[in-house]
């Protein structure tokens, strides 16, 4: 069973989506306090919450679109960064870092190879740490990545892709499968499903030209790459959230959205950066994790 491998592969896909216009998004999330269970699925009496602050941007360097305003050729840069802080009680010092700081940059190129197929190529690097001290950042905290995704334009509103991606999660280049999915409908009711930068799905009702109400579900997370006791370790924090999200379009291309719902649970654990650890079987069923908790987020997005 794959563990945090899924997130590291999703990071390869960066922020590339059907509309490659320039965009900046600032987002803050709060995952409320909930009980903590250890690797044996036993309640420890500990509790904890988490706060996540993230900033993402995509900047097309060149862009060609078709008559439907869909990109056919594009060069661009994707930037992302996040800061996660934990507030834990009665969990113990072995839980992991009290904070996670991640940052990444990628160069991407999209071009057609036929009427129904396109190719998306990516190359990037990221830093993933359990602290914010730049003087302590080293090669062990860095992850290089790249890949090629072959995208099938099944319908005007549905794209699916698959291809090899390479990253240095294990300390050396390894090839893993990369997945691309983007589906959406338009009208008074809108449905969107994407596997681009995390897993995101939403069902929305447009109430006016400026207001839309969505039911959203997302899978997201962060990680810290560390060396301890001569071992290469990865601390992963991943969570699934769902809730209602009103989205208000402000002046021009500026919009704001707020989400209130629940986090169905969030995993937080160490694992070694080895093939054996990444592809473990039944022994990873009960990872150390927090239970369900309230979830709130606020997002400010600007396109230009």
pLDDT at 177 exceeding the cut of 60: yes
pLDDT at 299 exceeding the cut of 90: yes
pLDDT at 35 exceeding the cut of 90: yes
Counting runs of H as helices and runs of E as strands, what totals does the chain give? 2, 15
pLDDT at 126 exceeding the cut of 70: yes
pLDDT of residue 214: 95
pLDDT digits (tens, 9 = 90+) for 196-206: 666 788 999 98
Mean model confidence pLDDT for the chain: 84
Report DSSP state, residue 185.
-
Report the C-alpha gap between 112 and 66 in whole angstroms. Answer: 11
pLDDT at 81 exceeding the cut of 80: yes
Instruction: Check which CATH number belongs to the domain holding 121 and give it.
Output: 2.40.160
| 267 SS3 class | strand
pTM, full prediction: 0.88
Is pLDDT larger for residue 288 or for residue 93?
Answer: 288
| 95 SS3 class | helix
Question: Structural domain of residue 107, as residue ranges?
Answer: 5-303
Q: Which residue from 95, 114, 107, 113 is spatially nearest to 290, judged by alpha carbons?
A: 95
Nearest 5°: CA angle at 10, between 72 and 176? Answer: 100
Confidence bin at 282 (pLDDT 50/70/90): very low
What is the enclosing helix (H) or strand (E) of 8? Answer: helix 5-10
Instruction: Average the pLDDT over 215-222 and give the result.
Output: 92
Report the C-alpha gap between 268 and 99 in whole angstroms. Answer: 12
pLDDT of residue 186: 77
Is pLDDT larger for residue 203 or for residue 275?
Answer: 203
pLDDT of residue 194: 77
Domain count of the fold of the chain: 1
Number of residues in the chain: 304
pLDDT digits (tens, 9 = 90+) for 234-274: 998 999 999 999 999 998 789 999 999 999 989 998 888 88
pLDDT of residue 62: 86
């Amino acid at each position: 069973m794959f563990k945090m491998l899924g997130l590291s592969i999703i990071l390869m896909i960066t922020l590339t989506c059907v509309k490659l216009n320039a965009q900046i998004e600032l987002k803050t999330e709060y995952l409320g306090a909930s009980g903590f269970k250890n690797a044996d699925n036993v309640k420890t009496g500990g509790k904890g919450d988490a706060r996540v602050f993230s900033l993402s941007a995509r900047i097309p360097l060149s862009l060609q679109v078709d008559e439907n305003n869909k990109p056919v050729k594009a060069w661009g840069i994707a930037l992302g960064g996040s800061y996660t802080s934990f507030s834990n009680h009665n969990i113990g010092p072995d839980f992991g870092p009290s904070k996670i700081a991640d940052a990444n940059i990628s160069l991407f190129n999209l071009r057609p190879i036929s009427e129904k197929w396109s190719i998306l190529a990516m190359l990037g690097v990221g830093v993933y740490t359990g602290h914010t001290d730049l003087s302590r950042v080293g090669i062990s905290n860095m992850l290089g990545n790249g890949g090629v995704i072959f995208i099938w334009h099944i319908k005007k509103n549905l794209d699916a892709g698959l291809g090899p991606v390479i990253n240095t999660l294990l300390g050396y280049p390894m090839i893993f499968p990369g997945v691309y999915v983007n589906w959406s409908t338009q009208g008074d009711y809108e449905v969107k499903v994407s596997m681009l930068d995390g897993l995101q799905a939403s069902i929305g009702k447009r109430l006016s030209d400026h207001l839309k109400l969505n039911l959203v579900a997302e899978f997201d997370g962060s990680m810290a790459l560390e060396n301890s006791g001569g071992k290469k370790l990865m601390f992963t924090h991943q969570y699934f959230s769902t809730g209602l999200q009103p989205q208000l379009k402000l002046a021009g291309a500026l919009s704001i959205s707020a989400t209130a719902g629940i986090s169905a649970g969030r995993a937080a654990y160490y694992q070694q950066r080895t093939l054996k650890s990444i592809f473990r079987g039944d022994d990873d069923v009960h990872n150390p994790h927090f239970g369900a908790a309230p979830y709130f987020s606020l997002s400010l997005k600007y396109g230009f």
